[in-house]
Amino acid sequence: MSDQNVFPVDPAFAANAHIDNAKYEAMYEQSINDPEAFWGEQGKRIDWIKPYTRVKNTSFDPHNVSIKWYEDGTLNVSANCLDRHLATRGDQVAIIWEGDNPEEDEKITYRDLHERVCRFANALKAQGIQKGDVVTLYLPMIPEAAVAMLACTRIGAIHSIVFGGFSPEALASRIIGAKSKLVVTSNYSLRGGKQVPLKANVDAAIDDHGASACIERVIVVQRTTKDVAWHENRDVWCHEVCAAASADCPPEEMNAEDPLFILYTSGSTGQPKGLQHTTGGYLVYASMTHEYIFDYHEGDVYWCTADVGWVTGHSYIVYGPLANGATTLMFEGVPSYPDNSRFGRVIEKHKVNQFYTAPTAIRALMQQGEDVLGDSDLSSLKLLGSVGEPINPEAWTWYHRIFGKGKCPIVDTWWQTETGGIMIVPLPGATPTKPGSATRPFFGVQPALVDSEGNEIVGAGDGNLVITDSWPGQSRSIFGDHERFVQTYFSTFKGSYTTGDGARRDEDGYYWITGRVDDVINVSGHRMGTAEVESALVAHPAVAEAAVVGYPHDLKGQGIYVYVTLKAGYEQSDDLMKELRNWVRSEIGPIASPDLIQFSPGMPKTRSGKIMRRILRKIAEDDFSALGDTSTLADPSVVDDLIEHRLNRK
C-alpha cells in the first residue's frame, strides 16, 4: 500500500468474519457486472409474502428519474423484524434499553417487542390511522420509539421522525410538510438528568405554529411523573390506548415500493428535505450492510449511539439489526452524564461487542484526556464504527487506542440520509484501513469522481463524488416534490446521483471524503477540502475542534478563515495563533496557511453534532444578516459570540 499509515486486517478477525478480502473482491465484481443476479440472490435474506420476479428497474436520466427495486414483491417490515424471529429466538433480547439514569435499564425480548408493537399498531388504528397515513414521531430514545416505528410499518402507515431536540417551529414545519394527522410524543424526555418538555413543544407546534391544520390526535407516552397540560379532545395516553388494544394484529401486505418512512435531513447545509424511503430495497440493504459491515454474529451485543431521529438510528438501531435478529442497544442519555466515562460504563455493563458513534462524540471525549473512560472494562469490544463527518486521523487513532485498545478494526462509514445505508466503508475482515479514509465501496455501489464540468477523473485524483448507478437502499423521492429530488440529485452531473460531497481517491483506490462540495476553498487556484486543514489543526495538542471556511480575499480569490476551540487548560494568545499558522504550513504546506484565526468557545452545530460551516462562512464573509434556516442549530447562542468576535469586518 502506498500510504505509510496502514492498519492491516488481523488474520484472526478475517478468519471468523463474514467477508474476507477474496470474498469482497468476488462479490463486489458480481454486484457490478450482474446486479440482477447479485441483488436477486441478496433479496432472499428477508421474507417476502409474494416473492419478486423483477429485481432492478432504475433510471438516473434527469428526464425520467425512476428507481424501483423488487417492484412486484410484497412484504411487511415489522413481520421481518419480529414475527419471523419468534420461533427461533422469541426469548432472545431484541432491545437493551439503557436509561439516562444509569440505574434504569430494560431488556425486551423479541416476543415482548412483538406484543408491544401489535398493541401499538391496533391503538394507531383505533385512533383513525390507516395504510398510507403519515405519523409523526417526536420521541426520546425510549423503547416506545422503536415500538411506534414498527407499529407504523405493521399497518402500512408512514412514519416521519422528528428529532426530540427540535423546536416547536421546526417540528411544525415537518408536520405540515408531511401532512401528518397524528403525533406520538412523551410528556417529557430525560437528558443528562434534566426534563425536556416534549409534549409542550408539540402543543406549541399545533397551537402556535400552524400544525393544527393537519394534526387530529396526540398520543403521549408517560416518561416521567411530572404533570403536563392536557387537551381532552386531542390527547390520549399511550399506556391507556395500548392496554385497551388487542395484542393480535396481522401484518399488512405492502408492495416493495410502498413508502416506509419520510425523514428530513439533518440540515447542515440548508432547507431540510423530506426524503422518502420505500419498503423492500431499503430493508434488504439495511439488513445486509448491518450484518457485513459490523460483522454481526449471533449473540453479539451491538450498540449504535445515534438518535432514532437520524437516518443512522433508523437503519442501524432499528431496521438493520432487528431484521437480522440482533440484540441492539438503545441509549437514552448523553456521553457526559453522570460523568464522561458513561460510554465506557455502558459498554462494560452490557458487554457490548460492536460500538458505533460519531466523530463529534469522539472529539469531545478526547478533550477530556486519556483516562476519560476511567477503569471501564472494554474487553468485550470487537469492532468500532464512525459516522456523520470525516473523522480526523488524530481522532481515529485516539479512538483506536482508547476504545479499541489497539485491537479493534474501525469502520469509517460514509453515507447519507439519501442513501438509506452505508455506501463507502472498509469491511473489517477484508479491508486494511487508513485513518481518515472511508476506503472502498460496499457491494453494488459505484462511486466516481467528476470535475466541475462533469468529466470523469480516472485513477488517483480529487473531485465531486457521484454514484453512477442505483442501489436498493436509495431514497426514491423528496416527499411531495419529485421535481426537487431530480433537481437536487440528478441534474448537475447527468446520469449520476450527485452526493454533494467532495472526495479524493488515492493510488490504492481508497476514497477520502474531503467535505461538502459547497465548502471547498479555492486559494490562488488551489482547491482545498475543509477536512484536510481541519484535521491538521486538530492534530495540534492545544486544539479540541476546528472549522475552516473560505472568505473573499483580494489577492488570493479566497482566504482561509479558521475557527478554533481550544482544549481545557490552553489560553488563546498571539503566540498560539502564530504557532497554529506555522503548524498548518508544516503539516500541509504554505498554500493552506490560515489567514485569519478566530478562537471560539464552541462551534455552531446541528442537533446531530455536525459543524454548520454554512453559518461560519457567512460570519467570515461579514454577511450575517441572512444566516438561513438556523432551526436545526443545537445552541444558537454560540452564533452571537462568533459574530461579536468576528475578524473580517468590511
Residues in the site for ligand ATP, rule: CB under 6 A?
Answer: 265-269, 272, 310-311, 387-390, 412-414, 416-417, 438, 499-501, 513, 516, 610
Q: Which does 388 bind (CB under 5 to 8 A by kind): Mg ion, ligand ATP, none?
A: ligand ATP
- Which of 367, 360, 379, 358 shows the shortest CA–CA distance to 340? 367
- Cβ nearer to Mg ion, comparing 597 with 612: 612
Cβ atoms 101, 193 nearer than 8 A: yes
CB 198 within 8 A of CB 185: yes
Q: Shortest Cβ distance from residue 499 to ligand ATP (Å)?
A: 6
Find the shortest distance in angstroms from Cβ 245 to ligand ATP: 34
Annotated ligand binding at 109? The verdict is no
Q: Considering beta carbons, is residue 189 or 419 the nearer one to ligand ATP?
A: 419
Which residue's CB is nearer to Mg ion, number 265 or number 340?
265
543 is in an annotated binding site: yes
CB atoms within 10 A of CB 261: 27
388 is in an annotated binding site: yes
3-state secondary structure of 197: coil
CB of 387 to ligand ATP, least distance (A): 5
Residue number, 376 or 487, with CB nearest to ligand ATP? 487
Residue 54 labeled ligand binder: no
Please answer whether residues 540 and 515 qualify as being in contact, where contact means their C-beta atoms are separated by less than 8 angstroms: no
User: Which of 524, 532, 588 lies closest to 557, judged by CA?
Assistant: 524
Q: Binds 35, which of Mg ion, ligand ATP, none (CB < 5 to 8 A, cut-off by type)?
A: none
Query: Cβ 165 to ligand ATP, closest distance in Å?
Result: 14
Q: How far is the CB of 467 from ligand ATP (least distance, A)?
A: 12
Task: Provide the mask over 245-274, with x wherever binding to Mg ion is found by CB under 5 A and - wherever it is not.
Answer: --------------------x---------
Nearer to ligand ATP, 186 or 266 (CB): 266
What does the alpha-carbon distance between residue 539 and residue 9 come to, in Å, rounded to a whole number? 25
Does 174 appear as a known binding residue? no
220 labelled binding-site residue: no
Which of the choices Mg ion, ligand ATP, none does residue 390 contact, using the CB cut-off of 5 to 8 A by kind?
ligand ATP
User: Max CA-CA distance within the chain?
Assistant: 72
Toward Mg ion, which CB reaches closer, 142 or 503?
A: 503
Q: Which does 313 bind (CB under 5 to 8 A by kind): ligand ATP, Mg ion, none?
A: none
Q: Is 389 annotated as a binding residue?
A: yes
Contacted entry of ligand ATP, Mg ion, none for residue 122, CB cut-off 5 to 8 Å set by kind: none
Q: Is 578 a known ligand-binding residue?
A: no
413 carries a ligand binding annotation: yes
Question: How open is the CA angle 417-423-425, to the nearest 5 degrees?
Answer: 125
CB atoms within 10 A of CB 33: 9
CA distances from 215 to 164, 203, 212, 219 (A): 18, 10, 5, 11
For the bound state, the minimum distance from the C-beta of residue 510 to ligand ATP, rounded and expressed in Å, comes to 13
The response to whether 575 counts as a known ligand-binding position is no
Look up cell 464522561; give the residue: 340
Q: Closer CB to ligand ATP, residue 278 or residue 413?
A: 413
For cell 441478496, what's the residue? Answer: 42
> Shortest gap between Cβ of 327 and Mg ion (angstroms)?
31
Cell of 601: 468557545
Grid cell at residue 507: 493510488
Cβ closest to Mg ion, residue 65 vs residue 365: 65
**550: Cβ contacts below 8 Å, ≥ 6 apart:** 519, 520, 521, 522, 523, 558, 559, 560, 561, 617, 620
Nearest to 356 by CA among 298, 415, 299: 415
Number of helical (H) and strand (E) elements in the chain, helices listed first: 21, 31
Query: In sequence order, what are the residues at sequence separation of 6 or more whose Cβ sits closer than 8 angstroms to the Cβ of residue 487?
Result: none
Backbone torsion region of residue 110, taken as left when φ is above 0, otherwise alpha when ψ lies between -120 and 50, otherwise beta: alpha
Residue 516: name its binding partner from ligand ATP, Mg ion, none (Cβ under 5 to 8 Å by kind): ligand ATP
Is residue 415 a known part of a binding site?
A: yes
**Is the Cβ of residue 278 or residue 535 nearer to ligand ATP in the bound state?**
535
- Our CB check for ligand ATP shows the closer of 123 and 465 to be 465
- 119 — phi, psi (to 5°)? -65, -45
- Beta carbons of 60 and 495 less than 8 angstroms apart: yes
- How far is it, in rounded angstroms, from Cα 166 to Cα 216? 21
> Where do we find the cell 439514569?
101
Q: Which does 610 bind (CB under 5 to 8 A by kind): Mg ion, ligand ATP, none?
A: ligand ATP
- Residue 520 Cβ vs ligand ATP, minimum distance, rounded to whole Å: 12
In 506-612, the DSSP E strands lie at: 511-516, 521-523, 526-528, 543-553, 557-566, 596-599
Contact 641, 615 (CB under 8 A): no
Provide the 3-class DSSP secondary structure of residue 192: coil
* # residues contacting Mg ion (CB under 5 A): 1
Q: Binding site annotation covers 312?
A: yes
Does 585 show up as a binding residue in the annotation?
A: yes
347 is in the binding site of which of Mg ion, ligand ATP, none (Cβ under 5 to 8 A by kind)? none
Among ligand ATP, Mg ion, none, what does residue 513 contact (CB within 5–8 Å per kind)?
Answer: ligand ATP
Positions at the binding site? 191-194, 312, 388-390, 412-417, 501, 516, 524, 527, 538, 540, 543, 585
Positions at the binding site for Mg(2+)? 538, 540, 543
Positions at the binding site for ATP? 388-390, 412-417, 501, 516, 527
Q: Which residues bind Mg ion (CB under 5 A)?
A: 265
